[in-house]
Amino acid sequence: MARKIIAANWKENPKNEKDALKLFRGVAKAANGAVRVILCPPFIYLDEIAHAWKKMHGGRRHKKEEQLALGAQDAFWEEKGAFTSEVGPRMLRGLGMEYVILGHSERRKWMKETDAVINKKIQRALADGLRVILCVGEPLAVRRKGLSAARNHVASQIRRDLAGVASRDRRHLMIAYEPIWAIGTGRYDNPEDACEMAEFIKRKASGGRSARGGGAAGGVPVLYGGSVTSKNIAEYIKYNSIDGALVGGASLKVGEFKKIINITCKI
Ligand code: PGA
């Protein structure tokens, strides 16, 4: 069975570089061979954290599939040019980033990112050598209509976000299923429903075929995200189809995040 994946989305946290390095050092020690840990800090801390990573690894460069990998929370769809404040995937690769989170519901909501924009970002990121963690998930109003409405919502996001992405490039993709109503709310999805959704997403993201390779259960790896803590992580990752978790709030507390990693190692 492939290693489970625990990805941390720090969002706009912590408040300064000193705290960011402290958090990095604390959780980096907990990384364990049985789990792949991916940390995604804000842009402004990436350089220092990449340096700290290198120091921890005897000065060597980051390789693909590291046990402890780094990622960004966004990347623009153009390589360079007159795009004030934007950061492109090549710049991130240059810093030693392996992953990028794209399509997070907070960017869809606050930055009005559409599926068309997310699609352009995904294409550029994959072309420029980043691995993509694509976030999808339904709002509460849709979920209230039932699981099949939620599936339709997610299927439409996947179809639009991955339009034109060749199946060979999907090897560098994973999808985080994050029901919007579960993000940062303390309300988490029923693990059985999340597992069914993960299977559905694998089928959709591999064009209906059950592709080989990539995740623990084959196909595109699918993470669950939304109020994951040390109390509920085991309920999700016990399923083969759930390849890991994308953790927000609980990834900011060293002790709690270590517990999540340790529990995942034992599954
Ligand atoms: P949460 O965030 O764990 O705080 O709910 C998850 C996410 O937004 O990726």
**Which residues, listed in sequence order, are joined to residue 244 by a DSSP beta bridge?**
5, 223
Q: State the amino acid at position 89 in one-letter form.
A: P
Q: Say which residue the tokens 């992405």 belong to.
A: 165
- Best residue among 227, 257, 260 to mutate for probing ligand 1's pocket (most ligand atoms within 8 Å of CB) is 227
pTM over 0.85: yes
Active site residue 104: yes
Supply angle C-alpha 181, 187, 191, rounded to 5. Answer: 95
Nearest to 7 by CA among 240, 241, 267, 237: 237
In this structure, is the dihedral angle defined by the CA atoms of residues 181, 202, 148 and 134, taken in order, positive or negative?
positive
Nearest atom in ligand 1 to the alpha carbon of residue 183 is 5
DSSP state letter for 216: T
Copy the structure tokens of residue 95.
């810093």
Nearest atom in ligand 1 to the alpha carbon of residue 188 is 5
Q: What is the pLDDT of residues 229-261, one digit of tens each?
A: 999 999 999 999 999 999 999 999 999 999 999
Question: With contact defined as beta carbons under 8 Å apart, do 133 and 71 qualify?
Answer: yes
Question: With contact defined as beta carbons under 8 Å apart, do 18 and 255 qualify?
Answer: no
Q: What is the pLDDT along the chain (267 residues), one digit of tens a residue?
A: 679 999 999 999 999 999 999 999 999 988 777 899 999 999 999 999 999 999 998 888 887 778 899 999 999 999 999 999 999 999 999 999 999 999 999 999 999 999 999 999 999 999 999 999 999 999 999 999 999 999 999 999 999 999 999 989 999 999 999 999 999 999 999 999 999 999 999 999 986 444 444 444 458 999 999 999 999 999 999 999 999 999 999 999 999 999 999 999 998
Q: CB under 6 Å to ligand 1: residues?
A: 9, 178, 183-184, 225-228, 246-250
